[in-house]
Structure 1
Amino acid sequence: MKRIAIVFFILTLVSCQNEKKEKESLYPETETIQTPQQLGQEIFDGKGVCYTCHKPETKTIGPSLKDIAKIYKAKGGNIVEFLQGDAEPLVDPSQFEVMKTNFAITKNLPLEEQKALEAYILSHLN
């Protein structure tokens, strides 16, 4: 009798596992893929804390994203190199000391995230 109960229990477990797999395959999760600009905006507005000094259209503590994009494009600058602390400021050198404090954040971002920030900034060229 014990053997029959054990066999029944094992069959029930196996059956439940198969049913669970079938349900999972019927409703696959849809994964949304972020564009570089979307990731860049997420970093800009989040862990990059860039939003505290920069706004899309307006100069505040730092230059606007529109101005940064325009100047970097015109001068052939590399925003990623600047975020890594490896390039001179092109937009407003007088504010460079203020920006340098943020290199502790931007230098430690993965390269993919630095490139995403660049993509987000350059998306303000329109």
Structure 2
Amino acid sequence: MKKSVLVLGLAALFFVSCGEKKKEEKTKPMMQQPMMQHNTTTETTTATKEADATSDVADSKVELGKKLFSEKTCATCHNPTMKVIGPSIKEINKIYSEKNGDIVKFLKEESKPIVDTDPGQVAIMKANLDGFVKNLSEEELAAIAAYMKSVK
């Protein structure tokens, strides 16, 4: 029994002392680094975290936009890559980019259609805007625009 206690005590002492050496080895290189280099690393890490956070916000905005695009039946008429009833999202992006258009203003009916100006198509789109999109918040409309812009 005394031998078991002695062996356990020595084993505990061994593990504790090894743990302290490992801690010293981990902290030693950090202490030897020049202070300027450490600050640069901290600044880079902070900038990376901020960029990741911005990217996460943009990704969640695109995801919300994709969800709304589907829920508000936009996807019924607008396919990402090909014309269905209305022009494809890629075509809309191309024309809005070329003509410096604002998709959110169009969705709020504050600007005229610039992609498909056929009176029949405009009437269908107006009915859809009045029925499905008119009560969306500015944030939700911006999310739909972000999703549409993300389609390449």
Q: TM-score, normalised by structure 2?
A: 0.58
Which runs of structure 2 are paired with 1:1-80 in the superposition (5 Å)? 35-46=60-71, 48-80=72-104
Identity of aligned residues (%): 43
In the alignment, what sits opposite 2:137?
Answer: 110
* Cα-to-partner distance string for 1:11-65 (whole Å, 9 max, x where unaligned): xxxxxxxxxxxxxxxxxxxxx966211110000111x110110100010100000
* Equivalent in the alignment of 1:13: none
Whole-Å separation in 1 of the counterparts to 2:104 and 2:82: 22
**Unaligned segments of structure 1, at least 5 residues:** 1-31
Partner in structure 2 of residue 99 of structure 1? 125
Point out where structure 2 has 5 or more consecutive residues left out of the alignment.
1-55
Aligned length: 93
Counterpart amino acid of residue 39 in structure 1:
L
Counterpart CA distance in 2 for 1:77 and 1:36 is 20
Structure possessing the higher radius of gyration over alpha carbons:
2
The answer to whether residue 146 in structure 2 is matched with residue 122 in structure 1 is no
Give a deviation string over 1:71-95, Cα, whole Å, max 9, x none.
1011110100100111100101112
SS of residue paired to 1:102: helix
TM-score (norm 1): 0.69
Stretch deviating more after TM superposition (59-68 or 99-108): 99-108
- Higher relative CO (CA 8 A, sep ≥ 6), structure 1 or 2? 1
CA distance in 2: counterparts of 1:108 and 1:87, whole angstroms: 17
Q: Which has the higher helix share?
A: 2
For 1:122 and 1:68, locate their aligned partners in 2 and report how far apart those are by CA, in whole Å: 9
Runs of 4+ in 1 over 3 A off after TM superposition: none
